[in-house]
Amino acid sequence: MAVMSCPHCGKELYDGLLECPHCFGPISQNVELAIDEIVAERNRKEKKALFLDLLRSSR
């Protein structure tokens, strides 16, 4: 069974659910797009964290 993340709260969901059991948000058919957005957001945060680490280590 595939596991995905809720586009609303980010918790793990099992494939085929119509709404999130955690936040009761509706799971749209475009959930893959929403997950792409979440992944992109996480990547941005990780890059920012990496950048901050670089700033700290350069001192």
Which residues contribute to the site for Zn ion (CB under 5 A)?
Answer: 6, 8-9, 20, 22-23, 25
- Give the nearest distance from C-beta 20 to Zn ion in angstroms: 3
Q: Smaller CB distance to Zn ion: residue 26 or 53?
A: 26
3-state SS class at 53: helix
Q: Smaller CB distance to Zn ion: residue 24 or 51?
A: 24
What is the DSSP-derived secondary structure letter of residue 29?
Answer: T
Q: Smaller CB distance to Zn ion: residue 8 or 31?
A: 8
Q: State residue 25 phi and psi, 5-degree precision.
A: -75, 145
How far is the first Cα of the chain from the last one, in angstroms, to the nearest whole number?
48
